Structure 1
Amino acid sequence: MHRDRIVGIITVIIGAAVALMTFQLPDSNMAGDVGPKVFPFISAAIMLLCGAILVVRKPTKDAKPFLVGEQKKRFLAIIGVIIGYIVLMWAAGFVIPTLLMLVVLCLMFGKDEKVPVWQAIVYAVIITGIIYVMFSIVLHLRLPVGNIINLI
């Protein structure tokens, strides 16, 4: 199956999920207000339309398969890292798993150029710090602390 068709199918699935989730949003209490459902639903409709176009469109002659060889290994490794990140975030909260995930992904994406480990660590610390400051201090939102830390 070609890359466009796979991306189209995934986009249709995500668009359908977003459309279904918009029905769970509450209605607006203000008269004349469109409410919180409109913009997510418009986004879902655009995703469904674009995904459907990718699915039904005839592939070009130079269309490439979705994943081949090394790409498939790298894709599965990234999925594994993300699953590990989700599990670690549940257990240890935001900071430690985010640092680990960013270091691992930075080293993985330095495909042809070897990224020095110290540089990956510096990037991870800076990005994690920026995300933490933006959510905790600027937006006043709590980031996950972790279930293991809650037990202590």
Structure 2
Amino acid sequence: MQRTDRITSLVLIGLGLIVAGMTSQITYTSFTDDPGPRLFPYFGAAVLILSGIAIFLRAGRSEIAEETIPVDRPQLLRGGLFFALLALYALAMKLFGFYAVTPLLLFAFYWLIAGPKRRVLWRGVVLSLAATGAVYLLFTLGLGSYLPEASIF
């Protein structure tokens, strides 16, 4: 899988550089000493670039011949749904704020990841609310930052 891995690694590195470039264009003024809106996009860009480099280096050492991997249509659709949910989350965050949108997104992620055999309604609700609470505590108490609030109201 050397060729496929190399292509994948170059795509990841390219995406990481694009994210870093777009992040550097974010302007903001802050009167607090919070990390600002650039921190997590830079972190994501670094993860993409480092993952791409690791895959590229591993592909050079691989002795396994190139093989065809069948595309599993349900998994492909599931991945597309994850992407669509994240895009919808970004749009909804501006309108409805962190507190209303994040538990819904996390519940949807739980529902997709758990699969039909392991889905339990109460568990999804508890996990999504607990994770939202943990992120709230991390940002407000830990980092002294603000979370997006609803602009529609």
TM-score range, shorter chain: 0.5 to 0.7
1:111 deviation in Å?
A: 1.9
**Greater mean deviation of Cα atoms: 12-21 or 106-115:** 12-21
Give the total of aligned pairs.
134
Correspondence for 1:8: 9
Deviations 1:95-144 (A, max 9, x none): 11110000001011012533211110100000000100110122110010
| C-alpha contact (below 8 Å) 1:3/1:66 kept by paired residues | no
1:115-134 matches, within 5 Å, as: 115-134=119-138
Deviations 1:10-68 (A, max 9, x none): 321133236646977xxxxxxxxxxxxxxx8xx58745633544677778347563842
Q: Structure 1 residues 23 and 87, CA, compared in 2 at 3 Å: closer, same or farther?
A: closer
Q: Which runs of 5+ in 1 are unaligned?
A: 25-39
| C-alpha contact (below 8 Å) 1:19/1:45 kept by paired residues | no
Q: Structure 1 residues 5 and 132, CA, compared in 2 at 3 Å: closer, same or farther?
A: same
% same residue: 23
Structure having the higher helix fraction is: 2
Q: Which has the higher contact order (CA 8 A, sep 6+)?
A: 2
RMSD: 3.6
Point out the structure with max Rg over C-alpha.
Answer: 1
CA distance in 2, matches of 1:22, 1:93: 21
Q: Structure 1 residues 114 and 6, CA, compared in 2 at 3 Å: closer, same or farther?
A: farther
Correspondence for 2:115: 111
Taking structure 1 as the reference length, what is the TM-score of the superposition? 0.67
Correspondence for 2:32: none
1:39-50 matches, within 5 Å, as: 43=46, 46=50, 49-50=53-54
